[in-house]
Structure 1
Amino acid sequence: MKDSLFRMFSTALTVFLFVAGFNGVLFASETADAAHAAAAVHHLPPVWTVIPFGALLLMIATGPLFYHSFWEHNYPKVSLALAAIVAGFYGFFMDHGTHVLLHTLEEYISFMALIGSLFIVSGGILIRIEQRGRPTINAAILFLGAILADIIGTTGASMLLIRPYMRINEGRIQPFHIVFFIIIISNIGGGLTPIGDPPLFLGFLKGVPFFWILSEVWLIWLGSIVVLLAIFMVLDKRAGAGSLPAELKGKVGGGISITGRRNFIFLLIIIIAVFLDPAVISGFPSLQKMFHLPFGIRELIMGFIAYSAYRSSNPVALRGNEFNFEPIKEVGFLFIGIFATMIPALELIGAYAQAHAADFSVSRFYWLTGLLSGVLDNAPTYLNFLAGSMGKFGSDIGSVEAVREFSSGVASPIAGDVRSDVYLLAISVAAVFFGAMTYIGNAPNFMVKNIAEQADVDVPSFVEYIYKYSIPLLVPVFFVIWLLFFNY
């Protein structure tokens, strides 16, 4: 299985580096980068280039339902093939293609370094809760996980708690148990700090103060969590006690035990490494600029920690968690396809947002950011709409001071409009919360689904998740949030 993981990364890197390298020198000077960026404004991709992205989403949704065997054995090839189509077009036919592909490669490497290291380190921590799952216990775990998501990220919290959560509910677990875990811990829970979810971290790097999101979002966050937990407890009570597996009889009613505590140190190092960035620490060295690499010190540290943690993890913890690399392998292959195929979609959306920013109300920013974050990577979606909203106020997202001023609340140049911080708040909430709308809205969603399936837990299909839970459950909650806070 370890060989599969290494092959995944090597194949992913080869696809990007081949196409980018064929088009010329890997990294141009900053002047050339600026020229490429300027060219991008005038040379947008044709609309048909979004077809591979639509095809990938369609196959993710229908594959497990209608051609399960083919999809299970060939999804890596499908994802890489569709990625290669877009990468090939950008490498050969777009003026700014090399620059865009390399920037996407950087984002993908950073993305995989963070979620991969958190996944591996968390897999070496075995938490046993000697209690039987019931509404109050489950709700307490979900609420604790929501808080933990803001400390170690949604990926870390999800990987740490999903197995003990399933274990205490064995014999009574139903699809909604997994769905609410994804909604609360893998998504909305991470909405209070830059550590919690990637869009907020990117905002922090751009200049949004670290504690700004906590001070502005806590009421929306708490209200949403409480409402969702109340709904969950009603459903969980209806689920009944279920059947207690024979191996659990006589083993419930105790406390909590943790095996592999040493891995908490590794988790702490990963969280610290997140902030090892020149944009955070002035004067901090950047390997990317020094050696023209698609990664930096942060990614190297995370990779080293992941390797060290796996080699030194307690075997009892790994066996107890039934740890394997299949969940991160699936995320790695599918998301390289998503990252590559969504490039033209993001460029077209970004250009539209920039061109029509003056006509966009807070409501439109909220709903567009949210809906697109459910099917696109929410981090670049957040940045595109943040740039668009700042353009409406005559500000530049490239200036740290301008972003800080924007977050403090600048009066709008349009009469009767609201302050800038309301726009930032709407975009921040939507980017994080709407990630729960689909399995691809946030990386932990897919990993939780995969782990649950390996444990023979019944989970909704891609389409069932949307029509059975997202639309009837989340859309009303998001509508109330809009009505109370962003109806401008």
Structure 2
Amino acid sequence: MTGRWLRCYRLLIMIVIVALLPGVAQAAELDGAALGWVWGMPFAGILLSIALGPLLFPKIWHTHYGKIAAGWALLTLLPITLVYGWQTALAAAIHALLGEYLSFIVLLFALFTVSGGILVTGTMRGTPLLNTMLLALGTVFASLIGTTGAAMVLIRPLIRANIGRQHNVHVIVFFIILVANVGGALSPLGDPPLFVGFLRGVDFFWPLQQLWPQTLIVAGLLLVLFFLVDLWFARHEPRSSTRPEPLGFRGGINFVLIAAIIAMILLSAEWQPGIVFDVYGTKVALQNLVRDVALVLIALLSLWLTADEHRSANDFAWEPIREVAKLFAGIFIAIIPVLAMLGAGKHGLFAPLLEVVTAPDGTPREVPYFWMTGLLSAVLDNAPTYLVFFELAGGHAAELTGPLAGTLGAISMGAVYMGALTYIGNAPNFMVYAIATERGIKMPGFFGYALWASAVLIPLFLLLTYLPIVPNLRLD
């Protein structure tokens, strides 16, 4: 065991021992009403670092992003320790990492690992019809194996099919919009924000039951628009020289393992043994522990049962999930004071924001929730943005899936759909950009892509807002 890992292991043991010591006084909760804007600076700092770091200082960022995230986390916990005491800081950190972060990252790890073992073989000719079919397939896959999983499985076959075309940038742009974002709106497996909601008590099938009409409208219109754009480009360029080869899949055992992941998620929602462990104030249910351990075992089974050459052909690497794990650990720590301020409601710093999204009679306004969640998801990251507005809307899953279902629908659609507006709105966006650039496709820069995506998506979002096709959204 290396020195670094030995220090981490000792630190973990110390935290567990301290957390389980008998007689330790119960840690006080943060008083959100007493917290000022300075307490939210670490959260803003880490999100701005994620947004601007890869663009302004890419070499430093890619080498030290873990240290940067840890620095913002420390800047969050140290003031809590100084003002409220070490017990409060420790309790808050344990709750953030054990009660929120662990299940979140375990699911992403399992989906990333299992989908990485699925190899799509063969070479297709990128005709408008075939490209549209691939995008439609990826859009469906996104809610089954996650936007990251679907994007990683299909992006390379799509690039191979279109590599000989003069105009292929638009294919990747629509792929990011549909497969890496919109398609993930129908299940907690699909997109990180919805899994955050699932961890907060939202029923597994709620997104499918509530958001399928909107997703069908948005995805259907996008696919029609893509077909027309691709058809126009195809008619103004020479016939592709790509030689088609039979299409197939390898690593089929991973489809079974994906089914096992879905089964474990459903089991954890249905199986309620009533056994709960208290770890320094954080309640950890037995069914959640069983689910997380099972997901890790499923990922390890995928590594064992999948031939190494399949992952090699997929250019599979651990760096993407490693980056997500480190950054989101920092995010879940840095958001602690922000959630406390949101929990203070009209007595906290976010009272003006609450007024914007709340009608005079106290009911939430779905349209402001939709646009504010969405636009902030585009420029920051959709998972923490979803969590912020989920808490702003009350944070109670029973109400948000019942009488306030329209509000949760607006938050969910904003976070998932508008994550496609920039490369940093959702984790797979930048991964697809990097792969396409590496394969020689001249992708637009940050602002160029934002213009592309905005021109395509903003009219659709206005359609959702102003036309009576979505009963959950209203302009009152």
Structure-1-length-normalised TM-score: 0.78
- Deviation per residue, 1:317-374 (Å, 9 max, x gap): 1222122222223323333333333444444455436964427422222222223333
Distance 1:258 1:27, change over 3 A: farther
Taking the TM superposition and a 5 Å limit, the aligned residue runs for 1:3-14 are none
- Deviation per residue, 1:31-81 (Å, 9 max, x gap): 947x52xx444443x312433444444444444444333333333332332
Q: State, as a whole percentage, how many aligned pairs show the same letter.
A: 36
1:438 pairs with 2:422: yes
Choose from 100, 108, 126 the match for 2:119. Answer: 126
Does the 8 A contact of 2:379 with 2:422 survive in 1?
Answer: yes
Taking the TM superposition and a 5 Å limit, the aligned residue runs for 1:62-81 are 62-81=52-71
SS in 1 for 2:186: coil
Does the 8 A contact of 1:64 with 1:72 survive in 2?
Answer: yes
Matched residue pairs, number?
450
- Residue 189 of structure 1 and its aligned partner are, at CA, apart by 0.8
Choose from 250, 262, 284 the match for 2:253. Answer: 262
Choose from 401, 422, 426 the match for 2:406. Answer: 422
Does the 8 A contact of 2:378 with 2:419 survive in 1?
Answer: yes
The one-letter code matched in structure 2 to 1:256 is L
1:337 pairs with 2:330: yes
What does residue 216 of structure 1 align with? 210
- Residue 257 of structure 1 and its aligned partner are, at CA, apart by 0.9
CA distance in structure 2 between the aligned counterparts of 1:23 and 1:377, rounded to whole angstroms? 34
What does residue 415 of structure 1 align with? none
CA distance in structure 1 between the aligned counterparts of 2:456 and 2:83, rounded to whole angstroms? 44
The one-letter code matched in structure 1 to 2:38 is W
Taking the TM superposition and a 5 Å limit, the aligned residue runs for 1:354-373 are 356=355, 357=358, 358=362, 360-373=364-377
Taking the TM superposition and a 5 Å limit, the aligned residue runs for 1:59-458 are 59-94=49-84, 96-106=88-98, 107-172=100-165, 174-204=168-198, 208-240=202-234, 249-250=242-243, 252=244, 254-277=245-268, 279-283=269-273, 296-349=289-342, 351=345, 352=350, 356=355, 357=358, 358=362, 360-376=364-380, 378-379=382-383, 381-389=385-393, 397=396, 402-403=398-399, 407-408=401-402, 410=403, 420-458=404-442
Does the 8 A contact of 2:147 with 2:428 survive in 1?
Answer: yes
Distance 1:208 1:332, change over 3 A: closer
- Residue 130 of structure 1 and its aligned partner are, at CA, apart by 3.2
SS in 1 for 2:248: strand
- Residue 24 of structure 1 and its aligned partner are, at CA, apart by 5.9
CA distance in structure 2 between the aligned counterparts of 1:12 and 1:243, rounded to whole angstroms? 60
Distance 1:314 1:148, change over 3 A: same
1:483 pairs with 2:455: no
CA distance in structure 1 between the aligned counterparts of 2:33 and 2:17, rounded to whole angstroms? 20
SS in 1 for 2:120: strand
Does the 8 A contact of 2:118 with 2:251 survive in 1?
Answer: yes
Does the 8 A contact of 1:123 with 1:159 survive in 2?
Answer: yes
Distance 1:211 1:61, change over 3 A: closer
CA distance in structure 1 between the aligned counterparts of 2:283 and 2:8, rounded to whole angstroms? 12
Distance 1:165 1:292, change over 3 A: same
Does the 8 A contact of 2:138 with 2:179 survive in 1?
Answer: yes
Does the 8 A contact of 1:193 with 1:200 survive in 2?
Answer: yes
Distance 1:285 1:138, change over 3 A: farther
- Residue 293 of structure 1 and its aligned partner are, at CA, apart by 9.4
- Residue 282 of structure 1 and its aligned partner are, at CA, apart by 1.7
- Deviation per residue, 1:191-216 (Å, 9 max, x gap): 12343234434545655554443343
What does residue 449 of structure 2 align with? 465
- Deviation per residue, 1:72-121 (Å, 9 max, x gap): 33333323323332233334434643333222213332222111221121
Taking the TM superposition and a 5 Å limit, the aligned residue runs for 1:11-50 are 21=15, 25=19, 32=26, 36=29, 39-44=30-35, 46-50=36-40
Q: 5+ unaligned residues in a row in structure 1: which ranges?
A: 411-419
Structure-2-length-normalised TM-score: 0.79
Distance 1:276 1:224, change over 3 A: same
CA distance in structure 1 between the aligned counterparts of 2:433 and 2:7, rounded to whole angstroms? 23
- Residue 258 of structure 1 and its aligned partner are, at CA, apart by 0.9
The one-letter code matched in structure 1 to 2:454 is I
